[in-house]
Chain A
Amino acid sequence: MGDAEIIPIGTRGRPGRGTGTRPSAAARNLAGKSRPTPKSEPPREEQPPPPAEARAEKAAAPHPPTAEPPATEPVLPLGEDVVPLATLPPSALTPRLEVSEREQPGIPVGDWLAAVQAAAREVFGEQWEHQLAHFLAFLRRRLTGDYVVDEFGFDPEITERFFLATLRPIAQKWFRIEVRGAENIPAEGGALIVSNHSGTVPVDALMTMVSVHDHTDRYLRALGADLVFRLPFVGAVARKGGATLACAEDAERMLAGGELVGVWPEGFKGIGKPYSQRYKLQRFGRGGFVSAALRTQVPIVPLSVVGAEEIYPLVGNVPALARLLGVPYIPITPLFPLLGPLGMVPLPSKWLLEFGEPIRTDEYDEGAAEDPMLVFNVTDQVRETIQQTLYSLLMQRESVFK
């Protein structure tokens, strides 16, 4: 019996092929040097620890007790050994625990509680009970679906608490975004923010969303390409974050509803352009965004973003693979796919965002949106403003990363 106690190697029955009185040689080898036939005896009588402590240890180290029962009751069937263990008197259980756990002294329950409270105080502050209750209330709201999304699928709660909170450190610490002319964004009512598009992956749209929210406390509702809504996860997250399809109906609906709408009229031509063409604006779509603004008579705010071009310098493309996957391009940057996933980390360029003077559209008469020449002229005006601002920002910039 004393021999069996020191073989906690997971076998339930009698160890080895032995006669039943003595373990086999193999089992004895496994048990190692510590064959403390006399050693296991003394602690059993000497120091039975308090049961509370033993329970804490039982949770921490569940292996020794499961290995024990065959020693005490050798004829016990395999499946039932847990039941009698629970019914064992604590005095029969605790000494053996003490044998295997002697090196790690137990932590009293009170210490655990204190540690949890200290951790809670560390995470949630002095008012941790209230904060935790708030956080739980939030979790339960999410789990029971007790929240509201608008007709575009925008979920303000998860956007503010999760998406923006995740992106904010990237915007502030990684790209060190500097925002100029935030006062040009109307504090209320519909407005259309028109921006240049660059960076291979539309990171600039995300960063603009964060910056706009931090400076004006308004959500930027992005208009995205239909590809965005075809991709799994991307489309679902985009809708939750307030984006919708870049089509005339949705743009006008949002603008008429008094939302702050962001549009990147260059589209894939903009983000997918090679690094050699950086900061050269591409064609501004077909001017659909101008018609939408004219119809809803909201101001157009031009936005120039400097820095996004350098995050993933696009030096190559795999058109055949892109066609196969149905995406506009497969980017090749100096680091991707050369470094694998590591190549997907954007270069930490310094970003400048400048919001220009709003271009008013409410002075045009009713049918202005039906006049293609006027639409083209306004489109060119917006494009020129952004291009000129880009050049002046580039002049002011000391270097790409500073």
Chain B
Amino acid sequence: MSGRTVLVTGVSRDLGRTCARSLANDPSVERVIGVDVMPPRGDIGDVQFVRADIRNPVIAKVIAREDVDTVVHMSVIATPGSAGGRGTMKELNVIGTMQLLAACQKSESLRQLVVKSTTTVYGASNRDPAMFTEDLEPRRPARNGYAKDVAEVEAYVRGFARRRPDVTVTLLRCANVIGPRVVSPVTSYFRLPVIPTVLGFDPRLQFLHEHDLNRVLRHAVNAGVHGTFNVAGDGVLMLSQALRRLQRPGVPLPGFAFGGLGSALRSARFADLSPELVAFLTYGRGVDTTRMRAELGFEPRYSTAEAFGEFASTLPPTGGRTERVLGAVAERLPEVEPDRPPALTVAGGTDG
């Protein structure tokens, strides 16, 4: 597999850029070509940047001229703000993917396609199973927004896989990527000084560390396994637990008010609480990663809790006063072993 030429789309954003760089460092990859509408904002190392819009057929010429054999599609974006509005975002996501796949279908040299998708395709509702496996459909199909874009992108990718059975198609459904430098709807939500939550709901969350995202994309390019895989760190974190680990105060709001706050925050550019993110923060979601381990052979280095912990350590706490008081009291008391203490009822009347 030496002398491979990899084309990466969406390198103007941080995740695409770092992924392209890590692919360029891979010994089995000879050349990495980064494609995007805008030039990347940071250092792209050995990556060769081609300014091209994947929404028009120019991309086919790039693939043919550079003799690309692997395409890593990373430009399905979740934030309308960065793209310049919801309309542009949909154009970029859906039409861009269509054009890219059309170009790929024409390409003789292409052997592998890796698409970074997201677990948002599963939606979030009260009828969800606890853990989604790759074969499950969303219980409530998305009707608009990012989730619908992703569902359409995946449908086109499946169509492409049907028409070009000789190409290995790896579809990676990644859980919410988190990390100190990641800018996404979820990270901007957690960066709010006071975090609104939906009253009476405590969703389960799963995260993927940004390093693990780069690793899994590299692994997918190298392993060449056909199929759809959920990618997420081990374990789940409840939202309440996440807020306590962040040491930031949460403000529970009734469901209807939460949606209204979402649009207010969006217009103030603080955070982007899109309807699918509101559903996610209400009902939560878990994905099963058995297939990722067994078939793809990938093992994330960070668990969900560790990935979140690293993200949390970069944010200054804005709450946690009670904990500090309790800590001060605890220091005056004798040491106890950190594991589960002996059974002690909350009333505390049974043992004495």
Which residues does A use to contact B, with CB under 8 Å?
121, 123-126, 129-140, 142-153, 155, 157, 160-162, 165-166, 226-227, 229-236, 239-240, 244-245, 247, 249-250, 253
Q: Separation in Å of the B19 CB from the closest CB of chain A?
A: 28
In terms of DSSP, what is the predominant structure of the interface of chain B?
A: loop
Assuming the contacts A125-B351, A130-B336, A133-B335, asked whether A249 and B131 have C-beta atoms less than 8 A apart, the reply is yes
Q: Is the CB of B326 within 8 A of A136?
A: yes
The residue of chain B having its C-beta at the shortest distance from the C-beta of A149 within the complex is: B238
Query: Are B326 and A244 closer than 8 Å at their CB atoms?
Result: no
Q: Which residues of A contact B247 (CB under 8 A)?
A: 144
Residue of B136, B284, B322, B344 touching A131 (CB-CB under 8 A):
B344
Q: How far is the CA of A136 from the CA of B130 in the complex (A)?
A: 32
Q: Are A153's CB and B136's CB within 8 A?
A: no
Partner of B236, one of A137, A153, A160: A153
On chain A, the residues within 8 Å of B326 by CB distance are 136, 139-140, 143
Counting contact residues on chain B (CB < 8 A from A), the size range is: 35 or more
- Are A250 and B340 neighbours in the complex by a CB distance under 8 Å? no
Within the complex, the shortest CB–CB distance from A26 to chain B, in Å, comes to: 45
- Docked Cα-Cα span, A143 to B320, in Å, equals 8
CA distance A233 to B237 in the complex (A): 18
Residue of A nearest to B242 (CB): A145
Could you say which of B236, B242, B342 contacts A151, with CB atoms under 8 Å apart? B236
Question: Nearest Cβ distance between residue B38 and chain A, in whole angstroms?
Answer: 38
- With A145-B242, A151-B236 in contact, is A226–B344 under 8 Å at CB? no
CA distance A118 to B220 in the complex (A): 65
B85 within 8 A of A: no
Closest to B133 in A: A249
Known contacts A130-B334, A236-B200, A249-B131; decide if A123 and B126 are in contact (CB<8 Å). Answer: no
Does B344 contact A134, Cβ atoms closer than 8 Å?
yes
A-B contact pairs, 24 of them (CB 8 A): A124-B348, A133-B333, A134-B336, A134-B344, A136-B333, A140-B323, A140-B327, A144-B244, A144-B245, A145-B237, A145-B240, A145-B241, A149-B237, A151-B131, A151-B286, A153-B130, A153-B238, A160-B343, A162-B346, A229-B127, A233-B200, A247-B129, A249-B130, A249-B136
Query: Interface code B240-271, partner A: CB below 8 Å = 1, 0 otherwise?
Result: 11111101000000110000000000000000
Give Cα A89 to B283, complex, Å: 61
Given contacts A151-B235, A155-B238, 11 further A-B contacts (CB under 8 A): A130-B333, A137-B338, A140-B323, A140-B326, A144-B320, A226-B126, A227-B126, A244-B129, A247-B127, A249-B130, A249-B136
Q: How far is the CB of B37 from chain A (nearest CB, A)?
A: 39
Type the 1/0 row for B328-352, where 1 means its CB is closer than 8 Å to any CB of A.
0110011110101111111111011
Residues on the A chain within 8 Å of B204, using CB: 149, 151, 153, 239
4 smallest A-B Cβ distances: which pairs?
A: A232-B200, A125-B352, A145-B244, A134-B341
- Between A140, A145, A240, the greatest number of chain B beta carbons within 10 A of the residue's beta carbon is seen for A145
Q: Which A residues are in CB contact (< 8 Å) with B136?
A: 249
Residue contact A245 to B341, C-beta cutoff 8 Å: no
| Complex: A142 Cα to B333 Cα, angstroms | 18
